[in-house]
Chain A
Amino acid sequence: MTELINGRTVLTTPFSDADIRALHAGDVIFINGDVITGRDDVHIRVTGEGMDLPVEIRGKALMHAGPIVTGSAGSGYEMISIGPTTSMRMERFEYDFIKKTGVRLIIGKGCMGARTAEACSEFGAVHCVLPAGNAVVAALCAEKITGVEWLDLGMPEALWNIRVKELGPLIVSIDTNGKNLFDEKKKDYAVRKEDQLQKISKQMGSILE
């Protein structure tokens, strides 16, 4: 479900195909509902070792994140700090992961590549960037930790199930039309980089004189 709340575009899980396909790279959104965390080890288990996710995330959100959590299963868990980790590390697994799990929205940091973009158009998913390093702001959006699986992987790698309220701003970086915000930025950066290297090369000469 997509709503406009106080000028913010807010999507609530479960996301429909139409909710997701209406998003464009560069859009800024917030989300409500169910998010699970999953990073390197979770992806390796699901795509490499063929294990099934112990929770259903079809139509929901996956966050590339390893939080700091206190408490225990008995006393209840508290989210202290959470923020996105480098999404690119998951690039090699993400096509298969999206295909197998039906996840619709991936939250991470920085860019992802062509295979993820393919999966996004094929299965109706988006990748979004949550500005990283803002782990307390994000932790306060996590209303409740509803469960944890695969804690044997260690606190950062485990599958934390979280209920979030207006988590964001999420900047859509890959949309369902295959548009990848970072690819465009990277092209600009590459051109400017070469210009700057030429300038540096000229000026270093006079610095060293």
Chain B
Amino acid sequence: MTTEEKKEKLTDIMASFIGHTAIHLPDDVVSKLEALRAAEDDPAALSIYDMMFKNMRLAADLGRPSCQDTGLVQFRIECGSRFPLIHQLSEILHDAVMKATAETPLRPNAVEIFDEYNTGSNTGTGAPALFWDIIPDSDSCGIYTYLAGGGCSLPGQAMVLMPGDGYEGAARIVLDRITSYGLNACPPLLVGVGIAGSIETAALHSKLALLRPVGSHNPNEKAAAMERLLEDSINAIGIGPQGLGGSSSVLGVNIEYSVRHTATIGVAVSFGCWTHRRGHIVFDSNLDCTTDTHHGFTCGR
């Protein structure tokens, strides 16, 4: 294959993968929703879960986006330094978003700042968002896709606290946001918490936390304990699906972090809604691919 042919192949696969993730929820989210429905006894909440499962089935049968807000498309790229298309990847992902927008179709959501017009293609200045990480000496490339809906992006918050505020300060931010704006963000929510030294590092970790599988725990035992503590506490508040009450409020709480400054503790929280449209696909150097998030997706059409 020439480089042009490879580019085209990768663009096609990524466009169909993005479309697939808009239609089908990832396997871990579906199993978690099944577990939450099984544990629910509030009749109104149960009827909402029933509607959710009916919607998932219809979206799959008709090949339509499960939620009309297909979000802003974001990518976390873990690219091997020797991956053959590393130099073309930004352009490929840009083109894949345009193609997925037209073909799926996705709702055009990207509005240019200051000029205030919808670009119509979900691309534009800095869009799609690319969060890069280069993996030395590898020739494969892992890509997380994420459709960041408006409703679930709205409760996001980041703040830099003083060390005296402690981890309780972080917990307060999470609980304050989830009991206010979180009610409108289509719970049960996945909660991504980032802890670091400054606002942007904390914010990036909170997004990376959302990309971790539902039900996974941070390898640091203390972080994992805080994840469980927050999960139990938020469930005990009883927000339920759509914020109308029920026995669970979250799909889970994921925490990611990096060091803090000795004088600061940066905290950010990002939320994913029940239609948490996250995908993960890995390409080898021949552009053969596998996904561990969507069992129904076959690479190459």
Contact = CB atoms under 8 A, between A and B. Distances in A.
Interface in A160-205: 169, 171, 181-182, 185-186, 188-190, 192-193, 195-197, 199-201, 203-204
B48 interface: yes
B65 A111 contact: no
A83 B67 contact: yes
A66 B238 contact: no
Contacts of A88: 184
Most B CB contacts (10 A, CB to CB) among A70, A133, A134 go to A133
Nearest to B236: A196
A110 B243 contact: yes
Nearest to A109: B184
A1 interface: no
A85 interface: yes
Contacts of A70: 105
Interface in B80-105: 105
Interface of B is mostly: helix
Nearest to B223: A207
B67 A132 contact: yes
A133 B273 contact: yes
Most B CB contacts (10 A, CB to CB) among A154, A155, A193 go to A193
B259 interface: no
Given A80-B64, A133-B273, A197-B168, A86 B229 contact: no
Contact of A136 (B59, B237, B274): B59
B226 A207 contact: yes
A147 B114 CA distance: 30
B211 to A, nearest CB: 19
B195 to A, nearest CB: 13
Q: How large is the interface on A (under 10, 10 to 19, 20 to 34, 35 or more residues)?
A: 35 or more
B229 A133 contact: no
A189 B239 contact: yes
Contacts of B274: 133
Contact of B151 (A132, A137, A193, A208): A132
Contact of A188 (B108, B154, B238): B238
Interface of B: 44, 47-48, 51-52, 54-55, 58-59, 62, 64-70, 105-109, 111, 117-118, 120, 150-151, 154, 166-168, 171-172, 175-176, 179-180, 183-186, 222, 225-226, 229-230, 233-234, 236-239, 241-245, 273-275
Given A110-B183, A132-B242, 20 more contacts: A68-B105, A81-B64, A81-B67, A86-B154, A88-B184, A109-B186, A109-B242, A133-B52, A133-B66, A135-B65, A140-B58, A154-B120, A171-B44, A188-B238, A189-B237, A193-B175, A204-B168, A204-B226, A207-B226, A208-B167
Report the 6 A-B pairs with minimum CB-CB distance, sorted nearest first.
A110-B184, A154-B118, A81-B68, A196-B233, A134-B55, A135-B68
10 contacts: A70-B105, A82-B68, A110-B242, A111-B184, A129-B244, A133-B67, A135-B67, A156-B107, A203-B229, A207-B226
Interface of A: 28, 65-68, 70, 80-83, 85-88, 109-111, 129, 131-137, 139-140, 154-157, 169, 171, 181-182, 185-186, 188-190, 192-193, 195-197, 199-201, 203-204, 207-208
